[in-house]
């Protein structure tokens, strides 16, 4: 019985993986030709209809903008759930102890001033490098976000780069002068306002007779302005929410 107990989980896991492999083998190895109709249509009409040279931007902000709406809602729900769980954890942890060198405290990275220099996980190298590189990463994130219709990039990618810039700024304050961007109230405000703006911009197409998520600038000289605006809003939203979650996981929200 004892021996059987030892290898039966391995057998179960092996059987499950084998079954999964057999089910997925045809999916991975099928060689049916990929349809080219959608690609050909987008290459011929995509730039005229949306104004964006980058076809991926044209799809996720033009043809399939509902996907983006659902995705931003999922992001919002994830942020709300993470913050709800982590803030309860904070209130459980903080009364227990304030030991500098214990790695297991959730607040490991949010130590104040004088305690920080003696902490095992924080070195001066981290502070010097992240403090210098943070603003540059933020600038690069805004570039990727604003040029998403012309070059590889867009709202999501730029937003993630902005989020890493925010994390760098939150890590890299040498004295007690913390960046405004690492405060949870500011980041939460940016996220809520950008979600509101996203909905407003999505509805604005209705007043120009284009329908929900229609491009109100479609008949003007610069139809691409709609995609640039949506890209910036989504970039701000993704950057604020992912930065918010990262900072909360480092224990830095107050």
Partner 1 sequence: MVERALLLCLLLLGFWGVVAKKNIIKKIFGLNILNAAAVMLFILEGNRIGTEAPILESDLALVVDPIPQALMLTAIVIGVCVTALALALAVHLYQITGSFDIDTIRERVKDAT
**Nearest distance in Å: CB 79, partner 1:** 8
The site map against partner 1 for 192-231 (x = CB under 8 A) is ----------------------------------------
**Nearest distance in Å: CB 218, partner 1:** 18
Residue 51 CB neighbours (<10 A): 23
**Nearest distance in Å: CB 51, partner 1:** 11
Is there binding between residue 238 and partner 1 (CB under 8 A)?
Answer: yes
Among 7, 24, 209, 220, binds partner 1 (CB under 8 A): 24
Here the tokens at position 186 are: 């500011």
Task: Name which of 82 and 173 has its Cβ closer to partner 1.
Answer: 82
Task: Name which of 76 and 129 has its Cβ closer to partner 1.
Answer: 76
Is there binding between residue 130 and partner 1 (CB under 8 A)?
Answer: no
Q: Which of residues 62-91 bind partner 1 (CB under 8 A)?
A: 64, 67-68, 71, 74-75, 77-78, 81-82, 85-86, 88-89
What does the alpha-carbon distance between residue 64 and residue 76 come to, in Å, rounded to a whole number? 19
Is there binding between residue 45 and partner 1 (CB under 8 A)?
Answer: no
Cα 173 to chain centroid, rounded: 23
What does the alpha-carbon distance between residue 247 and residue 254 come to, in Å, rounded to a whole number? 10
DSSP secondary structure letters along 169-189: HHH--SSS---GGG-HHHHHH
Left (φ > 0), alpha (ψ -120 to 50) or beta: where does 213 sit?
left
Is there binding between residue 242 and partner 1 (CB under 8 A)?
Answer: yes
- DSSP-based three-state secondary structure for 3: helix
Report the alpha-carbon angle 119-123-125, nearest 5: 170
End-to-end CA distance of the chain: 53
- DSSP-based three-state secondary structure for 204: helix
- Residues forming contacts to partner 1 in the complex (CB under 8 A) are 9-10, 13, 16-17, 20-21, 24-25, 28-29, 33-34, 36, 38-39, 42-43, 46-47, 53-56, 58-60, 64, 67-68, 71, 74-75, 77-78, 81-82, 85-86, 88-89, 92-93, 106, 150-152, 154, 156-157, 238, 242, 245, 249
């Amino acid at each position: 019985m004892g021996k059987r107990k030892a290898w039966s989980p391995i057998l179960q896991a092996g059987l499950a993986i084998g079954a999964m492999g057999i089910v997925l083998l045809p999916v991975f190895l099928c060689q049916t030709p990929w349809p080219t109709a959608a690609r050909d249509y987008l290459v011929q009409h995509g730039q005229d209809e949306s104004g964006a040279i980058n076809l991926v931007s044209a799809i996720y902000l033009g043809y399939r903008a509902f996907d983006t709406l659902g995705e931003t809602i999922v992001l919002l729900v994830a942020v709300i759930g993470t913050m709800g769980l982590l803030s309860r954890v904070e209130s459980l942890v903080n009364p227990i102890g304030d030991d500098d060198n214990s790695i297991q405290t959730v607040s490991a990275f949010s130590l104040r001033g004088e305690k920080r220099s003696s902490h095992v996980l924080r070195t001066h190298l981290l502070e010097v490098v992240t403090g210098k590189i943070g603003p540059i990463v933020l600038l690069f994130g805004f570039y990727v976000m604003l040029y998403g219709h012309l070059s590889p990039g867009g709202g999501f990618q730029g937003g993630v780069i902005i989020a890493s810039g925010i994390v760098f700024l939150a890590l890299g304050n040498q004295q007690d002068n913390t960046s405004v961007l690492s405060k949870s109230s500011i980041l939460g405000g940016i996220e809520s306002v950008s979600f509101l703006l996203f909905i407003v911009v999505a509805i604005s197409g209705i007043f120009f007779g284009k329908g929900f998520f229609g491009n109100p600038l479609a008949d003007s000289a610069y139809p691409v302005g709609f995609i640039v605006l949506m890209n910036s809003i989504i970039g701000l939203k993704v950057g604020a929410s992912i930065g918010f979650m990262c900072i909360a996981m480092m224990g830095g929200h107050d």
